[in-house]
Every structure is written in C-alpha cells, then in structure tokens.
Amino acid sequence: MPNDQDALFASVDALLAQAALQDALPEPAERKRLREAGGLSQDQVAKALSVRRETITSWELGRTEPRAPKRAAYIRLLEGLAERFPAQGTHAHGSTPTVATPGTSHGSAATTPPPAPAEAPASAPSPGTAPASAPAPVPESAPVPAPTRPAGTGRTGPSSTPSSSASLPSTSRRPPARNAAGKTPAKGPAATPTAPPPAADPRFAHGPLAVLDGDGSAYCVDGLVLDCPATTFPALVDWALNEAKLGAPRLHRHGKDADPLVVITAEAAERLGLPGELADRRGLRLPEDHQVVRQLLRAKWRLTRRGFGPWPRIYRPAQGGERQCVQFAILPWGALDTRSWGDSGQLPPAELARVLGSYATRVITPRGSTAVCGLELMTALRPPTRAVRDAATGSWVSGPNPGALAEPVDPAPPEAPGEHPVVAAHYPRHHERTPDQILDEEAFDWFRPLTDEECARGYAYGVGIDVNMAFAAAANRLTVGTGAATHVSSPAFDPKLPGTWLVDLSHIDLDPRLPSPFTPKGTRPTGPAWYATSTVAYAVELGARVQPAEAYVRYEHGAYLDAWYTRLRDAYMATMADLGVAAGMPDDEFLAAMALHKDADPGQAAVLSAIKSSVKGGIGKLRERPQGIGYTFGERWPALERPTWSPHIRAELIGKARTNMHRKMRKLASAGVFPVAVLSDCAVYLSHGPGPLDFLPRTEDGKPLPGGFRLGVSPGMVKHEGTQDFLWVASMIEDEQINPARHIKGSDAAVGGE
C-alpha cells in the first residue's frame, strides 16, 4: 500500500510540475530575440537540445511548444540568455521578468503567454467532395455544396491559413513572426520564393501532404510540424482524414479534391510495422497476409488493385458524397524514382516536404510515379463527368463532360500497338507491320555523314541545343480527337480534323543535309504510310499535294491538352525562376544562369526534373503497353479501360513536336546552317566556338533569326545541351555509327531521362 501511495504522490507531483511550466516560456518572438542576441544559430540550439532545427523554428514561431524533458532545458537556456541580454525598457538593474524558472514563484516574474492561434474563418467557400467513382452531381448554376468531410484539427500548431512569405525558412509560407520591436526577422537560410497559394480552404489548412518521421512528427509543406500519435496504419488513416487537415482543392469545378498524401520515411515505416524492403521484387507489394494489410481489412479499409506497394491508396467506398481516401508514399520501397526525383528520397523530412509540396502546389499532389501524375493531371483538369439534369426525373445525375475523354474508346487499327485485340485479330504475334499498316509517329533519332566541305571548314566543336519542354510546347493549342474514329475512303485532307491518314509523301524532295520530317529515322518515305494530321499538314505547308487513300478521322475533337500545358508551363517557369533563370534574360546571362541553375537549390532542381518527367511520362501513358509476365497476347489489359488511353493523341502530339523541330531546322538551313544529328528535342550543329551563340544565325541588327531556334527559358525556346570537340563528333558518326546527340552532354541521354 505505501508503494501505491508513493506512486500516486509521484504522479501528482509530476502534474503539478507540468502545471507550473505552462506559462514559463516567453512569447515566441522573444524566444527568437534571445537566441539571436546571444549569437546562436538554430542549428546550435537544436544540437544542444537533441532536436531538429525545424523543431526550433516551430518553437520560435509558436506553432508547437516544447514538451518534457526538452521544455525544462529550453527554459534554462532562455533564462540564461534573458539575464545577459535584457529586452529594451527593462529594469536598470538588467533583470528581465520574462522567463520563470521551474519551481520558483511567479510573483516577481510576470510571463507573457504565447499568442493564441489564429482562428480559421467561420465559413469559407470550398469545393464539394465527390464519391470515389464519379463527382457528386452539381448543377452548372447551382452553388457548390458544403464539404461533408470533417475538418478536424491538427494536434499542434495554429490553424491559420498559409500565406506567401520569404522571411521564414525555405519550408515555410506562413506570415513572418515579428519581434518585440515590431520588425520582421531576418530571412532564414536559403529561403526559396514560392508562388502564392490558392484561396484558403479550412479543410486543407495544413497543405496537401505531410512527411512522417519515426518519432511521430509530421512535416507539412509550410514548415508546420504536426504531432501524429498513430502507431498503426488504421490509426494513421484516421488521423490523416480527421485531424491532420491535409489535402488540396480540386483543379476543376467538376473534379475531385486531392486526397491527403502521407509520405512514410524509413524510420516511420519501421514504427508502423513495415519491412525495410519488399520481399516481392516483381509485384512490389506486401503479401495479403501481412499484419499491416490484415489490420486495415479488420478496420474495414480497402486497397486498390495495386495492393500495398510503394504508392498504396487506402479508402472506403464513398457514402453520402463523402470521400474517404488517403494516398501514401513509402520511401524505403523506392516511391520516389531517382530518375525523376534525384536524391530527394534521402532528404530530411522538412526539406522533402518542401520539395514535394512545391510540386503538389504547382502541378498536382503526387499519387504515383511522375508518369502517373502527368496522366492524372489531364483528368484533374478535364474531368470525364459533370452534373447534368435528368429530363425524366428532374434530379441531377452524372453525365459526360464536353471536351473531356469521357469513356474508353478503341483505337483505329493502324494506331493500336501490336498486342491490342484489334491488331492481334488480323496479324500473328511476331508480324512486323509495314508503314502502310501502322502509324509510326515517334521522335527524331537521326544523324548523317559529314560532307567534305564540313570537314574542310575547320570546325572545332559540335554543339548541342535542346528545346525546352518540347512535347509540352507541342500540346499548346493542339486539336486532338475526343471521340471514336470514323473510317473514310479517299477523303479530302482537312488540316483541322484530327485523325490518321494513309498517304504517299515519298515524292517530297528535301535537302539531304536535313532529316525527313515524315519518319523518326529521318529517312525519305518509300511509299504510302499512315500519318497523324499534324504531319500531313506540315507536308501541305511544304507545298506538297496530298491525296489520302483512306483515313480514320475524329469528328469529336478539341484542345483537350490546353489546360494541361498551361499548368505545366507555369510550374516549369516558376521553378526555373526559383533557380535563378527568368524569362527575358539576355542570351549571355541566360547561358550563365543555366550553367549553374541546378546547383542554386538542389530541392527545386529535383522539382524541375519531376515536372519534365511528368510531361514525357504522361504522354507515354497515353499508349501504355501491357505489363507483367501473366499477360497473354491478344487480350485486353487494364490500361485499355481508361478514357485517357489514347494512342492517337500521343501520335498527334509527337508528330507536332517533330515537325516543329524540323521547321526551325529548315529556317536555319536557309541561312546555311545544317544539323549533323538530332535526337528527340536535341540537335547538334558544327561550330567554330564552344557555345550556341557561335553558330546560331542572326539578322543584320543582331537579333535571332525569325522562325529559327532562340535561346531562352520558355517552352519551345532552346538552351545549351552540351559541347564536344569536332573529332569526337566525327568519330561517333563515321567510326562508331552512334548518334552524337545521345552523348553530346557527356552522358547517355536515355539514361538521364532526356
């Protein structure tokens, strides 16, 4: 019994000690002033208290409060600093009654309690939520319904709306704290400017995502650190949906809000019971009998067909318009591919939250590979369905959204890959289709022998130039089909009608020092072949007469990719500005900035890489081939059931990018400058100097040649890709028979993701 009584007394004493500490800390601005007055950095304080630098930032901004045993040590530090560096207007004796020592009387040490968190607006316009299967019906003229997901509150930190600020550390966009004198503190280290966030939505007050560490700290995009007590996945899902205030508003009025993303670090994975590496290296998913999967199923949560892999999505069927779904990214399982994200997976949690948050704010909340994100962005900006009124009942129901890809459509036979049922029904498995049987719209991979004149002119270098965001630029104002194809015989060619045309372009004669724009290898066509509308339209632009023998045309069409291009362009330009490369820079300044831009901020450089990968990967997903060893030739595969599985759109876009490239090369050729190699969006020219300015032609007044390649950061303009000496270029062409554009940068362009 005495032992029980002692234990109870000890518990009570602990409560009393905790109560005595509640008001022992000065206000957040004073904490920062004392540290700076003592000449201490946040890193020094963090090391002394065995916490992270981001934790000190949160304490000094009042987002979080220290807890025992760190609290007592932090108070001791502040008390010592307060004795040495009293605030202005204090006693002549130098005493500073701002910090009370644990266990001392508060009578002579009047403390200033931390300011109360800013309250969220009582009401704010916010998009409605939608079921997992389709958006909730909303009439065009009706007000958007109020959200039904419980907003919840974070365990720590204020619920004020994030806003742009460069005075906080690079992971924060909240308003800057102000010191006792009312002045804004100095900028934190390596502060990175970010685009202003969209209008406030109290449901998503803490941003689109959080990075979870092993100690239960969840790092959000604006520097906020939340306390996550969950130690199991069901509890973590509940926390993410009900307390964390994570997510992002929909990008289109008929779309869906972005699900919360929780990024799991290696330490957090161990805490939650996940293995450090997946045993199933082929399927990349946990077995169904794993304890984490069983826990989720017992809690009535479901997994998508992908199972529990690097990007698991955990959900419950929507009820009453309420969507319950959380996206996870498991870092130790390779969720962030190094080809797209570089070494981002190894960054500290706060820095990783900044990197992923920048991508989520500018592009889309990550929900898989960058290719998946690029494709999902198309759907988010052009939702397949919208609310329409049922004429019979008068109620609102889900219907197709005009201008969007609303339902899966089979391709025309020449557009389909060889495994597709429409092809497998006509040709055996290993049949090689000829140009008059298959649409072959791919990027350039061409090089040519050097002429005697070029060898005699004393060129010293081969210089590569690369078109910025070439495939995204081709999507701008591009008309593509949004419905099924219609077969027509002997049609008149219409450049405004997207489709696939069987036409003979072999009679078009071009300078042999230029690639043919009609084949990926740059060789002259030998007879009739299938082409996308953009390629045939370029033949007409060159003055050729074309008479298609047949065609598959799409009478339902529109500029489906315009919004996709605009968002990716803006994300790319904003990220380049963060890296010190802005539009309108003089050519020499632009080249100098480009030479250093990836070193300016490695985190933003990773965002830039992810944006570029989203463009190319998203386009590739439009023609996704079957995956897995279990596939049987001629059967349908899951990607075919997506409305966005559209190989004709991919062909139209690549054909446009290739002809855009050829048009500019032809303009330079008119000034006597010819390429020796082209690979996708990179062209190699011979030059007497090591840079693009040494060979790009200029007008008499010194301006870039109109219609040719122009240096600059905008999509469609070019940058310096790389330089090699002339003998290297000649050896690659004559001896190795390798396209020098592939290695002009000093590495394999394919390996580097170019």
- Residue 750 pLDDT: 59
Kindly tell me the burial class for residue 408, based on how many C-beta atoms sit within 10 Å of its own C-beta (0-12, 13-18, 19 or more). middle
Q: Are 444 and 678 in contact (CB under 8 A)?
A: yes
In one-letter notation, the amino acid at residue 465 is I
- pLDDT band of residue 102 (cuts 50, 70, 90) is very low
Predicted confidence (pLDDT) at residue 151 exceeds the cutoff of 90: no
Q: Are 286 and 307 in contact (CB under 8 A)?
A: yes
Task: Give dist(CA 407, CA 641) in Å, integer.
Answer: 8
Task: Give dist(CA 166, CA 193) in Å, integer.
Answer: 6
- Residue 10 pLDDT: 64
Residue with the two structure tokens 């390649």: 709
- Residue 409 pLDDT: 94
Phi/psi at 55 (5° precision): -65, -40
Q: How far is CA 183 from CA 26, 118, 165, 179, 494, in A?
A: 18, 20, 14, 6, 65
Task: Give dist(CA 591, CA 723) in Å, integer.
Answer: 13
Task: Give dist(CA 693, CA 521) in Å, integer.
Answer: 28
- Residue 74 pLDDT: 86
- Residue 564 pLDDT: 98
Q: Are 644 and 381 in contact (CB under 8 A)?
A: no
Residue with the two structure tokens 């279990």: 630
Could you give the 3-state DSSP secondary structure of residue 319? strand
- Residue 67 pLDDT: 79
Q: Are 583 and 714 in contact (CB under 8 A)?
A: yes
What are the CB-based long-range contacts (under 8 Å, 24+) for 400-408?
401/254, 403/482, 403/558, 403/560, 404/482, 404/560, 404/643, 405/378, 405/482, 405/560, 405/643, 405/644, 405/646, 406/482, 406/643, 407/643, 408/640, 408/641, 408/642, 408/643, 408/645
Predicted confidence (pLDDT) at residue 193 exceeds the cutoff of 80: no
Could you give the 3-state DSSP secondary structure of residue 261? strand
Percent of the chain with pLDDT over 90: 66
pLDDT tens digits for 383-433?
Answer: 999 989 888 888 888 899 999 999 999 999 999 999 999 999 999 888 999
Q: Where are the domains positioned within the chain? A: 16-106, 202-368, 445-474+563-622+648-742
Cα dihedral 341, 343, 347, 351, rounded to 10, equals -40
Predicted confidence (pLDDT) at residue 139 exceeds the cutoff of 80: no
- pLDDT band of residue 653 (cuts 50, 70, 90) is very high
Alpha helices for 28-182 (secondary structure H): 28-37, 42-49, 53-61, 70-84
Q: Does residue 193 or residue 717 have the better pLDDT? A: 717
Sheet holding 675-679, edge to edge: 445-447, 675-679, 682-687, 461-467, 718-725
Range name among 66-75, 327-336, 464-473, 590-599 with the lowest pLDDT average: 66-75
Q: Are 479 and 537 in contact (CB under 8 A)?
A: no
- First-residue to last-residue Cα distance in the chain: 75
- pLDDT band of residue 26 (cuts 50, 70, 90) is confident
- pLDDT band of residue 72 (cuts 50, 70, 90) is confident
- Residue 185 pLDDT: 37
* 754 alpha-carbon distance from chain centroid: 17
Fold that domain 16-106 belongs to in CATH: 434 Repressor (Amino-terminal Domain) (1.10.260)
Secondary structure of 696-723 in the HEC alphabet? CCECCCCCECCCCCCECCCCCCEEEEEE
Mean pLDDT in residue range 64-93: 76
Mean pLDDT in residue range 196-223: 86
Range name among 80-84, 349-353, 506-510, 583-587 with the lowest pLDDT average: 80-84
CB atoms within 10 A of CB 76: 13
Q: Are 634 and 431 in contact (CB under 8 A)?
A: no
pLDDT tens digits for 587-617?
Answer: 999 999 999 999 999 999 999 999 999 999 9
- Residue 250 pLDDT: 95
Task: Give dist(CA 257, CA 271) in Å, integer.
Answer: 29
Mean pLDDT in residue range 497-514: 96
- Residue 740 pLDDT: 97
Q: How far is CA 370 from CA 572, 606, 608, 614, 646, in A?
A: 14, 12, 12, 5, 18
Closest CA to 619 of 288, 374, 324: 374
Cα dihedral 374, 386, 358, 260, rounded to 10, equals -100
CB atoms within 10 A of CB 537: 19
In one-letter notation, the amino acid at residue 5 is Q
Q: Are 469 and 657 in contact (CB under 8 A)?
A: no
pLDDT tens digits for 214-257?
Answer: 999 999 998 899 999 999 999 999 999 999 999 999 999 999 99
Q: Which helix (H) or strand (E) element contains residue 533?
A: helix 533-541
Q: Does residue 685 or residue 120 have the better pLDDT? A: 685
Q: Which residues of 667-700 are buried (b: 16+ CB within 10 A; e: fewer)?
A: bbbeeebbbbbbbbbbbbbbbeeebbeebbeeee
Q: Are 415 and 501 in contact (CB under 8 A)?
A: no
Task: Give dist(CA 352, CA 157) in Å, integer.
Answer: 20
Mean pLDDT in residue range 40-51: 86
- pLDDT band of residue 16 (cuts 50, 70, 90) is low
Predicted confidence (pLDDT) at residue 11 exceeds the cutoff of 80: no
Query: What's this model's pTM, rounded to 2 decimal places?
Result: 0.75
List of E strands, 490-601: 499-504, 528-532, 550-553, 557-558
pLDDT tens digits for 661-684?
Answer: 999 999 999 999 999 999 999 999
- Residue 112 pLDDT: 37
- pLDDT band of residue 5 (cuts 50, 70, 90) is low
Task: Give dist(CA 277, CA 333) in Å, integer.
Answer: 6
pLDDT tens digits for 246-288?
Answer: 999 999 999 999 999 999 999 999 999 999 999 988 889 999 9
Q: Which helix (H) or strand (E) element contains residue 238?
A: helix 233-242
Secondary structure of 322-391 in the HEC alphabet? EEEEEEEEEHHHCCCCHHHHCCHHHCCHHHHHHHHHHHHHHCCCCCCCHHHHHHHHHHHHCCCEEEEECC
Could you give the 3-state DSSP secondary structure of residue 215? coil
Predicted confidence (pLDDT) at residue 693 exceeds the cutoff of 80: yes
Round the average pLDDT of the chain to a whole number and report it: 84
Range name among 195-204, 221-230, 425-434, 484-493 with the lowest pLDDT average: 195-204
CB atoms within 10 A of CB 333: 24
Q: Are 591 and 723 in contact (CB under 8 A)?
A: no
Q: Which residues contact 529 (CB under 8 A, 6 or more apart)?
A: 435, 436, 440, 502, 503, 504, 505, 518
